Structure 1
Amino acid sequence: MHALSQLDQAAAAWFLLAWFGFNFLIDVSPLRKKTLSSAMEGFRRGWMISMCLREVRIMDTSIMSGLQQGTAFFASTSLIAIGGGFALLDATDTILQVAGDLSIPVGESRALWEIKVLGLMLIFAYAFFKFGWAYRLFNYASIIMGAVPDRGRASDTEIRNIALQAAELNILAGRHFNRGQRAFFFSIGFLGWFAGPYVFAATTLAVFLVLARRQFASKARAAVLSGQYPDTVSLDRSGE
């Protein structure tokens, strides 16, 4: 820890508190029910129930395929970013020399630079595991979607229960995907550390506020809540 000044340590601690504190705020705290993510979970359940009412489910498989492809893209991007981190470590001396020639402050020492790069790589490694697990969960949800019986081949209760199993896996996949994306967003804040601990603290706060606004005060949240999906949807269509 000798490479880190007290300011660096304080800024790094603030970064970790903001990142994991935000995860707690969105996923665990009592305020989670007021978030955009929570509102979308209701629509994920509604999607699976509505799927049961469709004889042709091509649209549902297409949506799931799109979710999987998006998750795979971010997982691949995480690996590319990790590879870029190794390239930065390999070129540390060159980067520090060029930065010194241009009078660009990149850190007090080689050790501090490497700590910053390793920290950035750890963020992308965390994101990769989140995206990888989300992709796997979307696969599991797809399998259970395929196991949902057609109406008339099983009772409505059985159909609904299987559909809700798929919905819960879909929701879990979405949560892990969101955590991976948050890691990406907070990595932008982490880049501020390369300009110094004060900038690091400021960029971390900026990312936190942007993400909090999206979850609690964005137009997207207002649009979703204006048409909140009901908690219970009947499979009975006899009155139609």
Structure 2
Amino acid sequence: MLLRNAAHMELFDQLRYFTVLDGLAVIYLLSAWGILGYVIENPPKKRISTSVLVADYRREWMVHMITRKPRIFDATVLATLREGTSFLASACLIAIGGGLAAISNAERLSGVARDLALDAPAIIWEVKILLALFFITNAFLKFIWSNRLFGYCGVVMASVSNDEADPQALPRARKAGELNITAARAFNAGIRGIYFALGALSWLLGPEGLLLGGTLVIFIMLRREFASTSREILLSDET
């Protein structure tokens, strides 16, 4: 009992290295992650995001697919999209394994901290790495789900007739389009997770580093979704 109490006291003593600013920085990053995802997927009508613009092209793709013979082009594009989700899911899994390996080796983690002249117990670095692993794990799950949705989309695409007179052709093509958009939404969420995981790693430099890293990630994401050259290209034939 005394040993357990002593262990608890030691843990609380180690956690004192976390400050109020650390807590605020973590809340800032998590809030930005959630709010940014919502704004990108539900942008204001006056400033549509790149992701939403591409979603309209996905719908048109599925409609034009009805009369395309053969559909090798459509199958190739869909296969490429699935390969992208598979690759990133595998990369996330490797990153998760590396992060867990670093956490499990507290002695090496402490040695790295000493080499960087950072004075803090190993549990502090473990918690900071866990924050990055949270985003990576979320990204991994999103990529897996995106891959599966692209698979569903492929099945529905295969059921679409080439005959425009078929009353089921257009409704099924639209279903395939919505599945494709949903898969892309999950894929984009996974990409955001990777960005925020990289931002979370800046916590290793302290709460100020986390605030700076999180702000940089927000700036990059907002620029690419609302002020990028690719967005202007997508809008160029609409004006």
The alignment's TM-score, normalised by the length of structure 1, stands at: 0.88
Shift in CA distance, 212/74, structure 1 to aligned 2, threshold 3 Å? same
Q: Give secondary structure in 1 for the equivalent of 2:69.
A: coil
Contact conserved, 2:59 with 2:177, CA < 8 A, in 1? yes
CA offsets per residue over residues 53-84 of structure 1, 9 Å max, x none?
Answer: 21210000000000000001111111111100
Shift in CA distance, 30/103, structure 1 to aligned 2, threshold 3 Å? closer
For 1:166 and 1:97, locate their aligned partners in 2 and report how far apart those are by CA, in whole Å.
Answer: 53
Q: Give secondary structure in 2 for the equivalent of 1:209.
A: helix
Q: Which runs of 5+ in 2 are unaligned?
A: 1-10
CA offsets per residue over residues 80-136 of structure 1, 9 Å max, x none?
Answer: 111001111122222212431x3432x632221111122221111111110010000
Percent identity, aligned pairs only, is 34
Within the candidate set 49, 53, 67, 1:39 is matched to 53
For 2:237 and 2:211, locate their aligned partners in 1 and report how far apart those are by CA, in whole Å.
Answer: 38
Q: CA deviation at 1:31?
A: 5.3
Contact conserved, 2:146 with 2:187, CA < 8 A, in 1? yes
Q: CA deviation at 1:191?
A: 1.0
Match of 2:166 in 1: 154
Match of 1:180 in 2: 190
Matching residue's letter, 1:50: H
Contact conserved, 2:43 with 2:49, CA < 8 A, in 1? no
The alignment's TM-score, normalised by the length of structure 2, stands at: 0.89
For 1:110 and 1:151, locate their aligned partners in 2 and report how far apart those are by CA, in whole Å.
Answer: 65
Shift in CA distance, 32/143, structure 1 to aligned 2, threshold 3 Å? farther
Q: CA deviation at 1:28?
A: 3.1
For 1:9 and 1:129, locate their aligned partners in 2 and report how far apart those are by CA, in whole Å.
Answer: 26
For 2:46 and 2:76, locate their aligned partners in 1 and report how far apart those are by CA, in whole Å.
Answer: 29
Contact conserved, 2:86 with 2:143, CA < 8 A, in 1? yes
RMSD (Å) for aligned C-alpha atoms: 1.9
For 2:190 and 2:73, locate their aligned partners in 1 and report how far apart those are by CA, in whole Å.
Answer: 26
For 1:32 and 1:146, locate their aligned partners in 2 and report how far apart those are by CA, in whole Å.
Answer: 37
Matching residue's letter, 2:183: A
CA offsets per residue over residues 169-206 of structure 1, 9 Å max, x none?
Answer: 00000000000000001111111100110011001001
Q: Which runs of 5+ in 1 are unaligned?
A: 230-240
Is residue 2:178 matched to residue 1:168? yes
Counting matched residue pairs gives: 225
Matching residue's letter, 1:173: A
Alignment of 1:1-240 (within 5 A): 3=15, 4-30=18-44, 34-100=48-114, 102-105=115-118, 108-151=120-163, 154-155=166-167, 158-228=168-238
For 2:117 and 2:237, locate their aligned partners in 1 and report how far apart those are by CA, in whole Å.
Answer: 51
